Structure 1
Amino acid sequence: MPHMVLLAAYLNLNSNDLSDHARKIELSVEVEEKDVTTYASLGWKEVLGGLKSGELGLEFLQDVAATELDSIMWPLLGTVVPFIAKLDNSTTTTSNPAYSGNVLIKGWNPIQGSVGDEASVGVTYPTSGAVTRTTA
């Protein structure tokens, strides 16, 4: 099985390709663990899956120029918008699946950093509804 180095990941938020600003993309999904243990379990815990949820963690290099990152993200604050993320910016295939859904833009950090740092923005957004994996 081949290994992979992320060199050209793809990120689209609200129909904006932000790949040229993103330097970290983390999509995680999970399901709640529901304890359904009874006396008939004979001392063993039994669990079922409950509600599913996810998070999209991003790190951007900030750009406050007109029509760039800050002017795209600021108006989205408080809205639910679609996203698409891929390991590579090439065509979606079985070996380059696209993950998509919606996220709540619940915050924005327009200024973040210390003296001498690059101007970067780190955010994490909860998914809203299903996250899908597409291969075609």
Structure 2
Amino acid sequence: MTKMILLASYLSLNANLLHSNTNKIELSVEVEEKDVTTFGSLGYKEVLGGLKSAGLAIEFKQDYAAAALDSIMWPLLGTVVAFEVRADQGAVGASNPKYSGSVLIKEWKPLSGSVGDDASVSVSFPTSGAVTRATS
């Protein structure tokens, strides 16, 4: 069984490469469970998959410099933008698939933390439309 340590994951939001500001990326995809049980089910529940949904959760290390993270994210608030994530920054391939789609930038935290904390920002964005997986 192959094992992997995430050392250099890839993140692009609205064509901005942001992995240098990122220390956590989580893409989760799920499908709605629809109950289709009938009397013919003989007392067992039957389910089918319904609508799919996904979300992209990211932890950023904040940067207020000109043309840096905060100045990139602030104007995106409220918009739907393209995203791409990969386990590694290397070339897309069978062992490094890319997952892409669109997310709604529904929140941004310009400032978050306590005295002595690093300036980290944790956000979650819902996807809008399909999430695709590609190996080329």
1:104 is matched with which residue? Answer: 104
2:60 is matched with which residue? Answer: 60
Residues 17-36 of structure 1: pairs in structure 2 closer than 5 A: 17-36=17-36
1:114 is matched with which residue? Answer: 114
State the TM-score, normalizing by the size of structure 2. Answer: 0.99
1:46 is matched with which residue? Answer: 46
Deviations 1:63-105 (A, max 9, x none): 0111000000000000000000000000000000000000000
Aligned equivalents of 1:46 and 1:98: distance in 2?
Answer: 33
- Off by >6 Å, runs of 4+ in structure 1: none
Unaligned runs of 5+ in 2: none
Aligned equivalents of 2:11 and 2:80: distance in 1?
Answer: 16
State the TM-score, normalizing by the size of structure 1. Answer: 0.99
Q: What one-letter code is carried by the residue in structure 1 that aligns with 2:2?
A: P
Aligned equivalents of 2:94 and 2:48: distance in 1?
Answer: 29
Does the residue aligned with 1:40 lie in a helix, a strand or coil? helix
Q: What one-letter code is carried by the residue in structure 2 that aligns with 1:29?
A: V
Q: What one-letter code is carried by the residue in structure 1 that aligns with 2:109?
A: N
Does the residue aligned with 1:75 lie in a helix, a strand or coil? helix
Q: Tell me how far 1:2 sits from its aligned partner.
A: 1.4
Q: What one-letter code is carried by the residue in structure 2 that aligns with 1:11?
A: L
Q: What one-letter code is carried by the residue in structure 2 that aligns with 1:46?
A: E
Does the residue aligned with 1:99 lie in a helix, a strand or coil? strand
Q: What one-letter code is carried by the residue in structure 2 that aligns with 1:9?
A: S
Deviations 1:37-82 (A, max 9, x none): 0111000000000000000000000001110000000000000000
Unaligned runs of 5+ in 1: none
Aligned equivalents of 1:7 and 1:37: distance in 2?
Answer: 45
Aligned equivalents of 1:108 and 1:124: distance in 2?
Answer: 9
Aligned equivalents of 1:68 and 1:126: distance in 2?
Answer: 23
